[in-house]
Amino acid sequence: MMFTAKLKESAYAWQARLTPIAGQALAFWKLRSPRERGFLLAGALLLIAVLLWVLALRPAVQTIQSAQQRLPVLQAQAAQLAAVIFEAKALGDSRRGVMPAGDTEQALLNSLRTAGLDTVSVLGRPTNVDPAQMQWRVELANAPAGRVMEWLANLPFMVQTQTQLVDLARSNVDGRDRPGQLSGVVVLAIQQAKAS
């Protein structure tokens, strides 16, 4: 009860202070010519726009610019973390021994998917080799060169294979070279167990 009474008292005090100011502002406005009123309105709108920029928009733009500057650093850190994860996975796989052939093929498919090459690659078994030899042929068509190089670099950490053949060249579509894109073949085989 006391709180509402104080609230009403406070509202009356503010009203008592603002009423004379509002009256003076209205009298000032009525004394101005239409041209002066137009200038005053334009100035008020300009002041509102400046305040909006300073208080709301500029901090948001600065935050976006700061985020864009930090993004490459965060992406590099994420790539380093992925490399550490691949290495840890490879160390775990090496402790368990050589991967079975079926698991190797699935691991190759997973590595292509992880690298974003699953839509531009075909994984198969070479036909011109002894069936007892465990080899796979990866055919790439118009694949992003950066992703291919990253996949090849990370392959030993993900799958226990040896690269037997790499025959890659810049993609050529309708007689025109496609910079940054590769086509060709990579042949992989299961790593031979080391004699101890």
156 burial class (0-12, 13-18, 19+ CB within 10 angstroms)?
A: middle
One domain, residues 112 and 185: yes
What CATH number is associated with residue 127?
A: 3.30.1360
One domain, residues 172 and 122: yes
* 141-151 burial code (b ≥16 CB/10 A, e <16): eebbbebbebb
Q: Give the domain extent around 23.
A: 2-65
139 C-beta neighbours (distance < 10 Å), count: 14
86 C-beta neighbours (distance < 10 Å), count: 18
**Does some domain include residue 79?**
no
Q: How many domains does the chain have?
A: 2
pLDDT, tens digit, for every residue of 126-167? 777 666 677 888 999 989 988 888 888 888 777 777 888 888
One domain, residues 56 and 104: no
One domain, residues 133 and 177: yes
| pTM (two decimals) | 0.47
**Does some domain include residue 36?**
yes
One domain, residues 61 and 104: no
Q: How much is the pLDDT for 1? A: 60
pLDDT, tens digit, for every residue of 89-109? 766 655 555 556 567 788 888
Examine the fold and report which residue of 65, 87, 109 is the final residue of a domain before the chain moves on.
65
Q: Is 121 left (phi over 0), alpha (psi -120 to 50) or beta?
A: beta
**Pairing, β 176-190 against β 135-144:** antiparallel
**Does some domain include residue 20?**
yes
Rg (CA), the chain: 35
Q: How much is the pLDDT for 14? A: 85
**Does some domain include residue 75?**
no
One domain, residues 123 and 48: no
